[in-house]
A and B are shown apart, each in its own frame.
Chain A
Amino acid sequence: MLRRILLPSIFLILAYGFWISPDFKVISAGVAIFLFGMLSLEEGFKSFTGGLLERLLRRTTDKLWKSLAFGAVSTTFMQSSSLVSVITISFLSAGLLDLGAGIGIIFGANLGTTTGAWLVAGFGLKVKIAAYAMPMLVFGVILVFQKSKALKGVGYILAGMGFLFLGIAYMKDGFDTFKDTLDLSQFAIPGLTGLLIYTLIGIAATVIMQSSHATLVITITALAAGQVTYENALALAIGANVGTTITAILGSLSANVEGKRLAGAHLIFNVITGTIAIVMIKPFAASVDVISGIIGIAADDYTLKLAVFHTLFNLTGVIVMLPFVGRLVTFLNRTFKAKAKHISEPRYLTESAMEFPDTAVKAVRNETLHIYENGRDIIAASLYLRPADLVDDIDLGMRVKEPVHGSPLDIDSAYETRVKPLFNAVIAFISQSTFGWDQHQSADLHWLRDANRHLVEAIKGTKHLQKNLALYVRGDNPYIRDEYNQLRLQIANVLRALEQMRGEEDSDVAILALDNIKAELEQNDVAFSDRLYELIRENRITPQMGTSLMNDNGYAYDIQRDLITMATTLLSGPEPELAHAQRKLTLDEDEMAEALDESDNKEAPGTPPGKMDGV
């Protein structure tokens, strides 16, 4: 109901304002142009997220101080703490960041956003900013029409900055002429009441415009024109700081629990910082005077003094809150509990992860890993093994020789409940994401879809294998039982090797390590053929058994092949950039055979291979 009347009410109030005051129209147009500039800037930065942000985040968020610096620098650069917090929530939802790092970035963003006040107060009001805006807009718009994604991105950023400058200029002009018709400073409220009321106005303005930057710019331009008192301007700045959390809160509505926790951290930080600023407004104001005196800001330069105040109270907030990040994480984890997800529910495919191409690809990768875990358990169970058998340090050779118990797993039903819904969700997620994908991102998605397909093929192969396997592993003929146990062992060994690769520290060359598993697979296949004919020749097994075994060995071979191919995409190590280089070095069948032949022809095992010059 409120939402239904809110928009028409705002329209009516604005229309009435425009009718009675042309200056109000100019100021509002300035705000609108400024906000449009922010949108354009966001669009521009989004086009640079193709891998760059992911790489940056991975390298710059392993320590709290680095996350803090990342938040401060990126917000200074992008001039939008809201964009940084929405990006952080998306990356957190997609599993690219942990909560501690996310909190560090948010704290840093609060520091970074204070540079905005400095820019506007120190530069925007001191020079004819509109003169800079015009060429930026012209060059920006020309670049926006270019085909290259990078140039288009630069175009959006330039145009965005142009609009920001133009917006500031309009607001400044509007306030300058406005004071001749209406003196807003007559509404100044001194004391605590004024502090609280103007803080609330700052919150409301920021919530409506969803930009603390816009509130600050209006405040600074109004302050420069004498339309608002310095004391009330301080309160507006505090309000803007608290109100800015609305963007993160709205962004987290479509995020998973991690995103909600981060929005919670943002709200807690900004409310506490705001409270500290309100309670200690007098000491803060006094400190601002002292600092301004030291750095040479004139006593009556209230706009720059506001910038000092903004920086000072945000810095105090960071200093006060930093030692409590660990406790904050614990508190948020306890408050926002992850809903126990059913095994067939997607864990990473959230709307929030769909915000950026990088996060979307990461979410699909993580979800595919989830599908793999479910698929791995199905395959293990159909081989009469527990998932723990693949991880624990037990002798799998002995384990498969133990008598099997229980009825065979209903693979169809397990597939329908534990794999298919997730696979469907991945396909739906990819189809819903309508980005201008970068070449490497669409290639990643293609390979991830392919990895899912190979996993499904492996599960189907297990179903084919299961019929005879269930019969012969319980049968009386020890020879055929051994052969089927051998097939179980081979598949289990591949699954175990993949599990080890997932946890291995130097998995930077994981894809290449798969060549070794492939080599084993080929060697096992050759050894199997030799054994099979020998078993039939010596009447250990019947020819019928031999035919079944031959077919089932084919299924087992395909299952392992599918798992290895899937892993080539899925377990490509922490540095995706190196995955492409690794794929170039994987050995084809001939190269593999040559390598193994050379190995057999060496005089003594353990002779080191010849030296290689260069690399």
Chain B
Amino acid sequence: MKTRKLLDKLVAYLDGDARKHKQERDDLKAVLKKLKQREKKLLNRLEDEKNSDRRKALKSEIDIIHAQRKKGVRLLKSE
């Protein structure tokens, strides 16, 4: 069983397409993580912001990041 598992792992490693696909998923996850952090940071900033123009700009930025994250999650699920 262990040998079989090891062989599967080796085949997966040698299969360039599968490796590339995994790398792409990992990259996407890394970007989504960074986006999540940025969204959180902007939400905190929004809470403290009093100026209405700046609030509007921040809110629009947050919504765009949120839409990007949604797109990313959709992409991850569809793959």
Report yes or no: B46 in contact with A606, Cβ–Cβ below 8 A.
Answer: yes
Contact with A along B50-79 (1 / 0, CB 8 A): 001001110111111111111111011000
CA distance in complex: A592, B60 (Å) = 10
Which of A27-35, A154-162, A483-491, A579-587 lies at the interface with chain B? A579-587
Instruction: Please tell me if A516 contacts chain B, counting CB pairs below 8 Å.
Output: yes
Which among A512, A581, A606 has the highest number of chain B CB atoms within 10 Å?
A581
Instruction: Please tell me if A345 contacts chain B, counting CB pairs below 8 Å.
Output: no
Give B68's nearest chain A residue, CB to CB.
A585
Contact with B along A492-520 (1 / 0, CB 8 A): 00000000000000101100100110011
Instruction: Please tell me if A280 contacts chain B, counting CB pairs below 8 Å.
Output: no
In the assembled complex, the CB of A439 is this many whole angstroms from the nearest CB of chain B, namely 10
Which among A508, A586, A613 has the highest number of chain B CB atoms within 10 Å?
A508
Complex interface residues of chain A between 566 and 611 (CB less than 8 A to chain B)? 577-578, 580-582, 584-587, 591-592, 594-596, 598-599, 605-606, 608-609
Report yes or no: A614 in contact with B27, Cβ–Cβ below 8 A.
Answer: no
Instruction: Please tell me if B47 contacts chain A, counting CB pairs below 8 Å.
Output: yes
Instruction: Please tell me if A615 contacts chain B, counting CB pairs below 8 Å.
Output: yes
CA distance in complex: A577, B26 (Å) = 10
Report yes or no: A509 in contact with B34, Cβ–Cβ below 8 A.
Answer: yes
Give A577's nearest chain B residue, CB to CB.
B27
| A526 / chain B contacts, CB cutoff of 8 Å | none
Report yes or no: B33 in contact with A609, Cβ–Cβ below 8 A.
Answer: no
CA distance in complex: A596, B64 (Å) = 7
Instruction: Please tell me if B30 contacts chain A, counting CB pairs below 8 Å.
Output: yes
In the assembled complex, the CB of B65 is this many whole angstroms from the nearest CB of chain A, namely 7
Contact of A512 among B27, B56, B68, B70 (CB under 8 A): B68
Instruction: Please tell me if A527 contacts chain B, counting CB pairs below 8 Å.
Output: no
Report yes or no: B63 in contact with A599, Cβ–Cβ below 8 A.
Answer: yes
Give B47's nearest chain A residue, CB to CB.
A606
Report yes or no: A578 in contact with B31, Cβ–Cβ below 8 A.
Answer: yes
Instruction: Please tell me if A5 contacts chain B, counting CB pairs below 8 Å.
Output: no
Instruction: Please tell me if A127 contacts chain B, counting CB pairs below 8 Å.
Output: no
Report yes or no: B66 in contact with A595, Cβ–Cβ below 8 A.
Answer: yes
CA distance in complex: A609, B62 (Å) = 8
Secondary structure at the A interface, as helix, strand, loop or mixed, is helix
CA distance in complex: A375, B4 (Å) = 59
Give A594's nearest chain B residue, CB to CB.
B67
| B52 / chain A contacts, CB cutoff of 8 Å | 605
| A580 / chain B contacts, CB cutoff of 8 Å | 24, 27
Instruction: Please tell me if A338 contacts chain B, counting CB pairs below 8 Å.
Output: no
CA distance in complex: A578, B24 (Å) = 9
Give B30's nearest chain A residue, CB to CB.
A578
Give A586's nearest chain B residue, CB to CB.
B68
CA distance in complex: A613, B32 (Å) = 12
Report yes or no: A581 in contact with B60, Cβ–Cβ below 8 A.
Answer: no
| B63 / chain A contacts, CB cutoff of 8 Å | 595-596, 598-599, 609
Contact of A587 among B30, B61, B67 (CB under 8 A): B67
Give B39's nearest chain A residue, CB to CB.
A609
Give A588's nearest chain B residue, CB to CB.
B71
On whether A595 and B64 interact (CB within 8 A), knowing A509-B35, A582-B31, the answer reads: yes
| B33 / chain A contacts, CB cutoff of 8 Å | 615
Report yes or no: B71 in contact with A606, Cβ–Cβ below 8 A.
Answer: no
Q: Chain A contact residues (Cβ within 8 angstroms of B): what range?
A: 20 to 34
Report yes or no: A614 in contact with B64, Cβ–Cβ below 8 A.
Answer: no
Report yes or no: B30 in contact with A515, Cβ–Cβ below 8 A.
Answer: no
In the assembled complex, the CB of B10 is this many whole angstroms from the nearest CB of chain A, namely 15
CA distance in complex: A140, B32 (Å) = 43
In the assembled complex, the CB of A601 is this many whole angstroms from the nearest CB of chain B, namely 10
Instruction: Please tell me if A294 contacts chain B, counting CB pairs below 8 Å.
Output: no
CA distance in complex: A520, B64 (Å) = 11
Instruction: Please tell me if B22 contacts chain A, counting CB pairs below 8 Å.
Output: no
Report yes or no: A515 in contact with B73, Cβ–Cβ below 8 A.
Answer: no
| B55 / chain A contacts, CB cutoff of 8 Å | 605-606
Contact of A591 among B28, B34, B56, B71 (CB under 8 A): B71
Which among B24, B36, B52, B66 has the highest number of chain A CB atoms within 10 Å?
B66
In the assembled complex, the CB of A294 is this many whole angstroms from the nearest CB of chain B, namely 41
Instruction: Please tell me if B21 contacts chain A, counting CB pairs below 8 Å.
Output: no
Instruction: Please tell me if A612 contacts chain B, counting CB pairs below 8 Å.
Output: yes
Report yes or no: B56 in contact with A605, Cβ–Cβ below 8 A.
Answer: yes
On whether A512 and B29 interact (CB within 8 A), knowing A585-B72, A599-B59, A614-B76, the answer reads: no
Report yes or no: B27 in contact with A578, Cβ–Cβ below 8 A.
Answer: yes
| A592 / chain B contacts, CB cutoff of 8 Å | 64, 67
Complex interface residues of chain A between 504 and 558 (CB less than 8 A to chain B)? 506, 508-509, 512, 515-516, 519-520
CA distance in complex: A6, B75 (Å) = 65
Contact of A581 among B24, B39, B69, B73 (CB under 8 A): B24
CA distance in complex: A108, B26 (Å) = 33
| A578 / chain B contacts, CB cutoff of 8 Å | 27, 30-31
Report yes or no: B59 in contact with A606, Cβ–Cβ below 8 A.
Answer: yes
In the assembled complex, the CB of A605 is this many whole angstroms from the nearest CB of chain B, namely 5
CA distance in complex: A325, B62 (Å) = 46
Give A150's nearest chain B residue, CB to CB.
B16
| B9 / chain A contacts, CB cutoff of 8 Å | none
| A608 / chain B contacts, CB cutoff of 8 Å | 43, 62
CA distance in complex: A214, B20 (Å) = 39
Report yes or no: B56 in contact with A516, Cβ–Cβ below 8 A.
Answer: no
Report yes or no: A615 in contact with B27, Cβ–Cβ below 8 A.
Answer: no
Report yes or no: B73 in contact with A614, Cβ–Cβ below 8 A.
Answer: yes
CA distance in complex: A599, B72 (Å) = 19
Give B33's nearest chain A residue, CB to CB.
A615
Report yes or no: A509 in contact with B38, Cβ–Cβ below 8 A.
Answer: yes
| A582 / chain B contacts, CB cutoff of 8 Å | 31
CA distance in complex: A506, B39 (Å) = 12
Report yes or no: A509 in contact with B31, Cβ–Cβ below 8 A.
Answer: yes
27 contacts between A and B (CB under 8 A): A506-B34, A506-B38, A509-B35, A509-B38, A516-B60, A516-B64, A516-B65, A577-B27, A580-B24, A581-B27, A581-B28, A582-B31, A585-B69, A587-B71, A591-B67, A594-B67, A595-B66, A596-B60, A596-B64, A605-B55, A605-B56, A606-B59, A612-B69, A613-B73, A615-B29, A615-B36, A615-B69
Known: A516-B61, A613-B73. 14 other contacts (CB 8 A): A508-B31, A508-B34, A509-B34, A512-B31, A581-B31, A584-B72, A587-B67, A595-B67, A598-B67, A599-B59, A605-B52, A605-B59, A606-B47, A615-B73
